[in-house]
Amino acid sequence: MIEILKISLIAFMFSALTQEEHSLLSWYGRLIEKLPWWLCKPLGGCYRCFTGQVCFWYLVIGKREILEILFLTSFGIMTSMIYNAIYCNLK
């Protein structure tokens, strides 16, 4: 469970930095904006979609059970929403 907290924080910050103007990863955000929405979102255009993808594939590669994959992926998305609320209040 702790590993999902860490992964979701990293994924959220990556996605947040791709969407900020003049940040280290803003070039990547401009690059993926040119893609169709269904491809842009899981590649970092949407923090929830990106975090869900990262958590899901991390757990699949780790050969977890399907129920655990679904729970921990949902948990990762939920924690990224909490991170977003904190991030928006700090800006």
pLDDT band at 1 (very low <50, low <70, confident <90, very high): confident
pLDDT band at 89 (very low <50, low <70, confident <90, very high): very high
CA pair distance 76, 82, nearest whole angstrom? 10
pLDDT for the residue numbered 49:
95
CA pair distance 81, 43, nearest whole angstrom? 17
Residue 55: domain span: 2-90
How many structural domains are present in the chain?
1
Give me the residue label for tokens 């757990």: 59
Each residue's pLDDT tens digit, 12-70: 999 999 988 888 889 999 999 999 999 999 999 999 999 999 999 999 999 999 999 99
pLDDT for the residue numbered 83:
95
C-beta neighbour count of 38 within 10 angstroms: 8
**pTM score, two decimals?**
0.89
pLDDT for the residue numbered 20:
87
Q: By CB neighbour count within 10 A (0-12 exposed, 13-18 middle, 19+ buried), where does 76 fall?
A: buried
Closest CA to 54 of 68, 34, 69: 69
pLDDT for the residue numbered 34:
93
